[in-house]
Amino acid sequence: MRPLGPWGGVERLAVAVSGGADSLCLAVLAWRWAAGAGAGCLGLIVDHGLRDGSAAEAVETAGRLAGIGMASRILRVEGLDRGPGLAARAREARYALLAQACREAGIVDLLVGHHAGDQAETSLMRQRAGSGPDGLAAMPLVLETHDLRLLRPLLPAAPERLRATLHACGMQWIEDPSNRDPVALRSRLRSELAASDVPTREALLRGTLQAGGDRMRRRRRLAAELAEGSMLRPEGFALLPAVLPAPGALAALIRTVAGAAHLPPAGAVEDLVARSRAATLWGTRLLPAGRLGPGWLLVREADAVQAPLPAGDGVLWDGRFRLRLNAAPLPAGAMIGAAPARQAGRARTVPAAVRAGMATLIDEGGDELALPAGAGFVFEPRLPAVVDALFAMSR
């Protein structure tokens, strides 16, 4: 845990626990560390409901945590249907539940149980997919979002060590049969790596560590570039200088303004910088800043925004705006969406192109509703322009 600090004044941690050996070992170690630091430790158990007996396994895991004196909470994913992209959809739903549970508990630090074997699989998967330098860096030790730190303290540890630790503690765990499914890409890569020799696996991890260090240095340069004249505003748009930022910096801003999880195609961004004229790209729109100055506005493309969602505290709309109620009551049937420009009365100080993509409280007919006293929307894009991450530099 030391490399993930500083830890001064930490009051409570959360651990994502599936019930498998990796996350259960992490829970045991984190609980012991937290006890020594005078902090609390909460286990968050996610039941995806995709397998017969998953609810019983979640209860069983909660019992194991209670056996060491660790409090836990079971989170159940609702409405997750089988079909294409199941793994990605399950992962997104899982992390959304974990993040919401941490917010409700006032916890900033969430620990997950990825280990060196997972890192090697991720690196190999991305190599074969032709990932660029950022992808080859695989998973960071620490990933910071707006209100949460995602920590992977076991990333340097071999999975065999984790199972040995549980054996020494006399603890059992749950084996997920999907981890041995030969159809799944990760399972095939896991078998391939297990059959390889030690030098091959170590070389793969060394390359990943080097790529992580390189990515950290690139992000420092990116932060410096963005500080030289670009301004990201809380209304969800960016004000850019007359000379557009370098392609890497502009791509990061496009991802943030779009509320996207991935960067736009590099070639398309390079063309945009070279042309320096109004255009749409990756769900954003570039246009002259007009009354805001001689530069450019980068705004969300109005036609690309998400459909309205039922309003509720903490709901993230369009991957960008989160509703914070602060205990304020909502009108019945309230939704979050983009109101027609003629009704966007609460944001007259920003250009119409910006207002068209801003979050608004609306009724089921699409008419704007007044926000309750104390409530508001906060610009919290899926990824900030510069992702703050710490990478392991040694094993």
Query: Annotated binding site, which residues?
Result: 18-23
Comparing CA positions, the residue from 365, 361, 363 lying closest to residue 376 is 361
Distance, in Å, from the CA atom of 339 to the CA atom of 370, rounded to the nearest integer, reads 12
Write out the two tokens for 386. 């510069």
Amino acid letter, residue 318: D
Polymer length in residues for the chain: 395
Sign of CA dihedral 332, 334, 339, 344: positive
Chain CA centroid to CA 330, Å: 27
The residues pairing with 111 across neighbouring beta strands, listed in sequence order, are 15, 151
The token pair at 276 is 């320096």
Residue 181, number of CB atoms within 10 A of its CB: 12
Token digits of residue 176: 């997920």
Annotated binding site for ATP: 18-23
Distance CA 218, CA 280 (A): 26
Sheet holding 309-310, edge to edge: 309-310, 335-337, 360-362
| CA of residue 388 relative to chain centroid, distance | 12
Nearest to 318 by CA among 267, 363, 269, 284: 284
Neighbours of 61 (CB within 10 A): 24
Question: In this structure, what DSSP letter does residue 236 have?
Answer: S
